[in-house]
Amino acid sequence: MPELPEVERARLLIHSNFLNKAIVDVETVVDDIVYQGCTNQEFATKVKGRTLVDTGRRGKVFYLILDQHPCPVLHLGMTGSVRIKGQAGLEYKDFSTAGDDWPPRFYKFVIRFDDGQELAFTDMRRLARIRLVDGDPLLHPPISELGFDPLLSMPDLDVFSETVRKRKCPIKALLLDQAFSAGVGNWVADEVLFQARVHPAQNTVSLTDAELAALHDQLSFVIKTAVAVNADSSKFPNDWLFHYRWGKGRVTNREAKMPDGSNIKFETVAGRTTAIVPAVQKLHGNTIIGRRKNKTKSELKEEDTGASHPDAAEEVPIKGNGRKRIKVERDQDIADVESSPRTTRRKRIVKQEITSPEAAEFKPPAKSKRLRTPIKKEEPQTSSTATPRRHSTRSHTLKQAIKMEPLDPVVVERPVDAATSSIVSAFGHPIPDFPSVDLEDADDMIKLFQQVV
């Protein structure tokens, strides 16, 4: 991906070839993804007839200042480039824009100037962006949302250190954040961290003063050095990591090494493939990974003491950069499940223990629409129990109460009235079969039945 040095090279190419020249014609192609906030036809209409009076850049975004607004604001994306007819295209490490065809392949616009020269903007993956901005481009998005430019507006060490320590993330993630340092991409970040001897995954809050000073110096040094040679990688210093980081995974470069023999290790940090030299880049202090492991241990301790919910999942330490969580069931939870009796609705064994006729608070089994097994008695009375029918739970209970031997039979002082007789008959048992008890009135009889039932 073109980073600050490559974008600056593209800007300089336009500035040195087309400054103060008039645009006589514009050819565009339809692309609703690359053109943002305007169509290709609107771009051609508003740019044609204007004169290029200046160019500018912040981070990876550059713009053309015309004699009248609006101004074209351009971003090269992953594979964007600018070409001048009759000149060699810009060469990148990951891809090439060279070719003799004109207009070149994947072009989005071709601008023709009054001296006959032509400028083309190309993009193979359609990740570039073309916008028209009214007014000062520095005061409008996307440029207004960018951080400092390491080449144009590098902050002093105190401001830099204070800004870094306000964030809590891997240092490489911060360097790649365009709202922090505009223009820093993957290879620039890796080079800066290698030259500063700082591990890319080092937490920003744990950086020492010496490491912050080294990062500040090397960020400025790497950018200025690359721009000074017009982003020509063949002219980069020989001890730069840049020369030895490419070709990862190929047979010829499977074991990448530095000139002194130090191994180059490739890891994923901040979502990007990262080249690390473990011999000089070491993690220390409170890293992001360390905090995650400590948190997991505290959660395990909380679960052992029963402070957390028993059904809560245990989060195991996360390895690498994956974020997959695994639910681990504890042995105690499994034991609790195994030890608990299994209840089903198909079979319910009802146990009835009758030790004496004094069991006044006898509670019948719960209602169920399914057949029950025969009632078991540990000390059966004179009569055996029968299997209750599906619809006669209360009748069965009453039969058991009727067949119990009374303790102190007494004589009924007055005959049972018709209301009481009807209540007894409702259960299918005549009055003479019911034990004689001393009743004051029919209300007592009803209360007795309610207690039994």
Contact 270, 172 (CB under 8 A): yes
Helix (H, G, I), strand (E, B) or coil at 129: strand
Question: What is the pLDDT at residue 329?
Answer: 41
Tell me, yes or no, whether 30 and 104 share the same domain.
Answer: yes
Contact 414, 360 (CB under 8 A): no
Instruction: Give catalytic status of residue 137 as yes or no.
Output: no
Q: Which residues have a Cβ under 8 Å from the Cβ of 324 and sit 6 or more positions away?
A: 318
Instruction: Give catalytic status of residue 282 as yes or no.
Output: no
Domain membership of residue 323 (yes or no) is: yes
Tell me, yes or no, whether 165 and 124 share the same domain.
Answer: no
Domain membership of residue 244 (yes or no) is: yes
Q: Which domain holds residue 269?
A: 157-276
Tell me, yes or no, whether 166 and 193 share the same domain.
Answer: yes
Q: Which of 114, 145, 176 is the last residue of a domain?
A: 145
Tell me, yes or no, whether 95 and 213 share the same domain.
Answer: no
Instruction: Give catalytic status of residue 60 as yes or no.
Output: yes
Tell me, yes or no, whether 255 and 310 share the same domain.
Answer: no
Classify residue 73 by its DSSP letter: E
Domain membership of residue 352 (yes or no) is: no
Using CA atoms, how far residue 322 sits from 18, 129, 451, in Å, is 49, 31, 66
Q: Which CATH number covers residue 48? A: 3.20.190.10
Q: Which CATH number covers residue 173? A: 1.10.8.50
Tell me, yes or no, whether 163 and 141 share the same domain.
Answer: no
Tell me, yes or no, whether 102 and 170 share the same domain.
Answer: no
Domain membership of residue 438 (yes or no) is: yes
Question: Hey, what amino acid is at 66?
Answer: L
Q: Which of the residues 3, 8, 191, 211 is marked catalytic? A: 3
User: How many domains does the chain divide into?
Assistant: 4
Tell me, yes or no, whether 220 and 91 share the same domain.
Answer: no
Looking at the DSSP bridge assignments, the partners of residue 112 are 25, 118
Q: Which of 82, 117, 145 is the last residue of a domain?
A: 145
pLDDT tens for the chain, residues 1 to 453: 899 999 999 999 999 999 999 999 999 999 999 999 999 999 999 999 999 999 999 999 999 999 999 999 999 999 999 999 998 776 665 555 556 789 999 999 999 999 999 999 999 999 999 999 999 999 999 999 999 999 999 999 999 999 999 999 999 999 999 999 999 999 999 999 999 999 999 999 999 999 999 999 999 999 999 999 999 999 999 999 999 988 655 444 457 899 999 999 999 999 999 999 999 999 997 655 444 444 444 443 444 444 434 343 343 444 444 444 444 444 444 344 344 445 445 544 444 444 444 444 555 555 555 555 555 555 555 444 455 555 555 555 555 555 555 555 444 444 545 554 544 444 454 544 444 445 455 666 666 666 655
Domain membership of residue 361 (yes or no) is: no
Tell me, yes or no, whether 19 and 138 share the same domain.
Answer: yes
Domain membership of residue 395 (yes or no) is: no
Domain membership of residue 397 (yes or no) is: no
Tell me, yes or no, whether 44 and 88 share the same domain.
Answer: yes
Domain membership of residue 349 (yes or no) is: no
Q: Which of 90, 111, 145 is the last residue of a domain?
A: 145
3-state secondary structure 192-228: HHHHHCCCCCCEHHHCCHHHHHHHHHHHHHHHHHHHH
pTM of the model: 0.63
Q: Which of the residues 60, 108, 172, 399 is marked catalytic? A: 60
Question: What is the pLDDT at residue 297?
Answer: 45
Tell me, yes or no, whether 135 and 33 share the same domain.
Answer: yes
Tell me, yes or no, whether 48 and 71 share the same domain.
Answer: yes
